[in-house]
Chains A and B, each alone.
Chain A
Amino acid sequence: MPDVYTTEWYEAVRDAMNASAADLPDLPDGSFVVAIEIVGDGISPYVGTEGRRFLVRIDAGRCSWWRETLDRAEERREAGGPVDYRFTGPATVFDELAAGIGDPIDAALRGIINVRGDVRFLLRHADHVKALLDAYTTRVATTWPRGRPPYDGSPGGSQGVLPGAKGESASA
C-alpha cells in the first residue's frame, strides 16, 4: 500500500482510474489536461504552505500520465499550453477525499473545491468524471505515515471539513 502523494501512490491512482474507466461503455474521445492545485492550509502534514500541484492527462478516457509541477510556468510547459480544467482546494479537503471521506462532487457543488473549465463537457461526461473521482477516493489503499484524516484542528474539527465526513483522527 503506497504512502499518500508518493510516486507509487500516483501510479496506483492512475491504475485505479484506468480500471474504472475500463468498465464504462462510452469513453470520450480526445485528450485533455487537468491541473490539481492543492493549497497548503497549515493542517495537512503532507502538504506544506507552498502547496502541491500536479497535472493529469486523459487520452480517450484513460489517464496517460500525471506529473507534479512546481508552479504555473512549469505546469504550462508540461501541459504544452493552458490546461483544460483546474481543480483548486485546501489540502485538508484533498487529503480527506483521498482517504475516502466525503464526496468530491459534493465538494465541488459546495464550492469547497473550485472547478474551472468548460462545464458543458464536464456535464456531458459526468459519468466518466464520476468514475475517475471514485477511483481517486475509494479504489486506492493509501497509507498515512503522519496520521490519517480527518485531522484534529481542521475547520470542521475532528469530523473533517467535508459534508458527511466521519471517522477518527489517527496517528502513525
Chain B
Amino acid sequence: MVRRLSAPPAVVAEEGGEAAGMAAMVADLIEANMAGSPRRARAVSGTQGNVVLSADDRGLSVTVSFHRERVSVVGSSLGDAPVLAGSWMDMARVCSGRCSPARLVLRRRLRVRLRRPLRPLLVAAYVLKVPRSTYSKEKPSW
C-alpha cells in the first residue's frame, strides 16, 4: 500500500556558512523535486541523518540534514557524515540527468565517502536528481 503524505517535508536553507548560496540552491532543488515527485517526498519523509555535498573544485560544502518531516541545508560541512564530492559542474550534470553518477564514480570524478546509516546518502542521491518529466514540460523550456 502506498503511504500518502499530506504535504512534502518542509525544506529550509539555513543562513550563514561559507556556501550560503549553494545551500539555498540545494534547498530549492530538493523542494522543487519533492513537489514534482511524491515518491521523492515519501523517501525523504521519515529519513534522519546528515549528508555532506562537497563542490571540491571550489572548496565549498553544504550539509543536508534530514529530520523526518523537515530538511535543512546549511552552507558548511557538519560532522562525521557521508560525503558526495565532485566538481560543481559535474554535480549539476548528475542532478539534471545529463551524466550518469555511476560513470563519474568509475572515472573518479565523483567520490563517495560511506558512513552508516546509508539511508540518508541514498535518499539524498534520489531527491537531488531532477525527475526526467520536469524537462519535458513546456515552460521554461530551456
Q: When the two chains form their complex, are residues B25 and A31 in contact, meaning their CB atoms are under 8 A apart? A: no
Complex contacts, B140 vs chain A, CB 8 Å: 30, 32, 84, 118, 121
Residues of A in contact with B, size category: 20 to 34
Residues of B in contact (CB 8 Å), total 31
CA of A98 to CA of B130, assembled, Å: 32
Q: Which of B19, B23, B92, B141 is close to A126, meaning CB atoms less than 8 Å apart?
A: B92
Q: Which of A6-14, A109-117, A136-144, A145-153 contacts B (4 or more CB under 8 A)?
A: A109-117
Complex contacts, B25 vs chain A, CB 8 Å: 108-109, 115, 119, 122
Complex contacts, A3 vs chain B, CB 8 Å: none
Q: When the two chains form their complex, are residues A111 and B75 in contact, meaning their CB atoms are under 8 A apart? A: yes
Q: When the two chains form their complex, are residues A28 and B29 in contact, meaning their CB atoms are under 8 A apart? A: no
A171 CB to nearest chain B CB (Å): 32
Q: When the two chains form their complex, are residues B21 and A114 in contact, meaning their CB atoms are under 8 A apart? A: yes
Report the nearest A residue to B22, measured CB to CB.
Answer: A109
The answer to whether the Cβ of B47 comes within 8 Å of any Cβ in the partner chain is: no
B41 CB to nearest chain A CB (Å): 16
Q: When the two chains form their complex, are residues A61 and B130 in contact, meaning their CB atoms are under 8 A apart? A: no
Q: When the two chains form their complex, are residues B142 and A113 in contact, meaning their CB atoms are under 8 A apart? A: no
CA of A118 to CA of B28, assembled, Å: 8
Q: When the two chains form their complex, are residues A119 and B21 in contact, meaning their CB atoms are under 8 A apart? A: no
Q: When the two chains form their complex, are residues A111 and B21 in contact, meaning their CB atoms are under 8 A apart? A: yes
Contacting residues of chain B (84-118) with chain A, CB-CB under 8 angstroms: 88-89, 92-93, 95-98
CA of A58 to CA of B60, assembled, Å: 30
The answer to whether the Cβ of B58 comes within 8 Å of any Cβ in the partner chain is: yes
Complex contacts, A106 vs chain B, CB 8 Å: 58
Q: When the two chains form their complex, are residues B21 and A30 in contact, meaning their CB atoms are under 8 A apart? A: no
Contacting residues of chain A (8-38) with chain B, CB-CB under 8 angstroms: 28-32
Complex contacts, B93 vs chain A, CB 8 Å: 123, 126
The answer to whether the Cβ of B83 comes within 8 Å of any Cβ in the partner chain is: no
Q: When the two chains form their complex, are residues B20 and A110 in contact, meaning their CB atoms are under 8 A apart? A: yes
Query: What is the 8 Å Cβ interface bit string for chain B, positions 58-99, against chain A (1 contact, 0 not)?
Result: 101000000000000001000000000000110011011110
Contacting residues of chain A (94-138) with chain B, CB-CB under 8 angstroms: 105-115, 118-127, 130
Q: Which of B18, B24, B135 is close to A124, meaning CB atoms less than 8 Å apart?
A: B135
Query: What is the 8 Å Cβ interface bit string for chain B, positions 1-33, against chain A (1 contact, 0 not)?
Result: 000000000000000001111111100110011
12 contacts between A and B (CB under 8 A): A61-B142, A108-B25, A109-B21, A109-B88, A110-B19, A111-B22, A111-B75, A115-B25, A123-B93, A124-B135, A126-B92, A126-B96
A→B interface (CB under 8 Å): 28-32, 58, 61, 84, 105-115, 118-127, 130
